[in-house]
Amino acid sequence: MEKQKLLIVDDEEINRAILSEIFNHEYEILEADNGQDAARLIEENKDLVLVLLDVIMPKLDGFGVLDYMREQNLLDRLPVILITSQKVDESDDRAYSYGVADVMHKPFYPEIVKRRSRNIIELYQNKHNMEVKLQEQRKKILAQEKEILESNEYMIETLSTVVEFRDLETGDHVRRIKYFTRVMLEYLAKHFPKYGMTPERIDSIARASALHDVGKIGIPDAILLKPGRLTAEEFEIMKTHTTIGCQILEKFRRNEVDEFYQHCYDICRHHHERWDGNGYPDRLAGEAIPISAQVVAVADVYDALVSKRVYKEAFATSKAHDMIMGGECGQFSPDVLECFELAKEDFFNIIEVIKMFDFS
């Protein structure tokens, strides 16, 4: 079995000989009698497991070697034991500020040096092995997250396509809702940090918004495709798309802590709730409404207003904006309305771009 390498740095040959005798049965010994040679050997031998370093040396002293190792970011992975004849208060504090593993004072006891060195080598190697395992675990987690993301995207595309076949307006509507939702969430992150809107959470909610109307799969054609306004009884049936959607989503749930599923569920069930409690299906009010659903609610109403329907013409973007801000479409969260106001120009631009590409 190939021996591990250990570097002894001391300008006194007798000290190097003593230390070498302690370790040469277990380790391959490299020696340097000055700091410059020590730095060179450290550079050339990436597999060193320990450096035993004197302080007072010609050309480059021990602290000069530590400066070099710190510049090369070596002190975290390569342990150094400083062996010095200086008084404790002269060297110890300075040495430990560099991050050395230990400080020993001359004259030293060979058996103590040997034991402490072994312990330090084992400690650093265990630390390295743990870091390697953590890296491997991170890679596995990232691979799992990628798989989950791809699975979620497939679910979104599949369910959205099914709804689109049943309701020809839904495909473009879904695209616009995702755009509007993302824009408002970005303003929410900037101006209302209390909601904790990280880039990852924004992305997750924006993607989940595509499934807000998935429950329409379960609405009868006679109601879903009716070329006119719904009766009161028909509207009650239409309102059940919120709870039907949640039943569909439940089939795709992975586990109890699936954050993406929770965003999908909250949006699907609660995007018709209103701030004053006059929405449906649960008549939630205020902060009881999940923030994801609060944002999608405004995006959904805005898109319905600026889009042509069988029962109405499209409103101008400015008119739709004023109707929402004026409370004509129900009461919404003041925070979300502030973000909607900030996003006014963004929404107008999105509509214009969509018109250019004939999405609507």
**Can you name the residues that pair with 4 across neighbouring β-strands?**
27
Is 332:276 a contact under the CB 8 Å cutoff? no
Shared-domain flag, residues 131 and 207 = no
pLDDT at residue 164, rounded to an integer: 66
Shared-domain flag, residues 104 and 243 = no
Shared-domain flag, residues 131 and 171 = no
Shared-domain flag, residues 194 and 325 = yes
In this structure, is residue 162 part of a structural domain? Answer: no
Is 323:183 a contact under the CB 8 Å cutoff? no
Of all helices (H) and strands (E), which one includes residue 7? Answer: strand 4-9
Cα angle value 200/204/209 (rounded, 5°): 150
Output the pTM of the full model: 0.60
Shared-domain flag, residues 182 and 331 = yes
CATH number at residue 213: 1.10.3210.10
Beta-carbon contacts of residue 12 (< 8 Å; ≥ 6 apart): 54
Is 272:279 a contact under the CB 8 Å cutoff? yes
Shared-domain flag, residues 118 and 190 = no
Q: Which residue type does 256 have?
A: E
Shared-domain flag, residues 254 and 352 = yes
Shared-domain flag, residues 183 and 70 = no
Shortest CA distance to 339 belongs to which of 268, 267, 272, 291?
Answer: 291
Q: Which domain holds residue 275?
A: 167-356
Shared-domain flag, residues 178 and 86 = no
In this structure, is residue 322 part of a structural domain? Answer: yes
Last residue within a domain, chosen from 84, 112, 135: 135
The pair of three-digit structure tokens given for residue 245, joined into one six-digit string? 């959607």
CB neighbourhood size of 197 (10 A)? 21
Measured N-to-C along each axis, helices 259-270 and 291-306 cross at an angle, to the nearest 10 degrees, of: 50
pLDDT at residue 173, rounded to an integer: 78
Q: What is the pLDDT of residues 274-300, one digit of tens each?
A: 999 999 999 999 999 999 999 999 999
| Sheet arrangement for strand 4-9 | 27-32, 4-9, 48-54, 80-84, 102-105
| Predicted confidence pLDDT, tens digits, the chain (360 residues) | 678 999 999 998 998 998 999 898 889 999 999 999 999 999 999 999 999 999 889 889 999 999 999 999 998 889 999 988 766 566 677 888 888 988 888 877 888 888 889 899 999 888 888 888 888 888 887 777 777 666 667 667 667 666 766 665 555 778 889 899 999 999 999 999 999 999 999 999 999 998 898 899 889 988 888 888 889 999 999 999 999 999 988 887 766 667 888 999 999 999 999 999 999 999 999 999 999 999 999 999 999 898 877 667 888 888 999 999 999 999 999 999 999 999 998 888 877 766 665 544
User: CA 300, CA 277: separation in Å to the nearest integer?
Assistant: 18
Shared-domain flag, residues 175 and 276 = yes
In this structure, is residue 197 part of a structural domain? Answer: yes
CATH number at residue 125: 3.40.50.2300
Shared-domain flag, residues 68 and 8 = yes
Say how many domains are in the chain: 2
In this structure, is residue 224 part of a structural domain? Answer: yes
pLDDT at residue 257, rounded to an integer: 65
Residue 281: asked if its preceding bond is cis (omega within 30°), the reply is: yes
In this structure, is residue 154 part of a structural domain? Answer: no
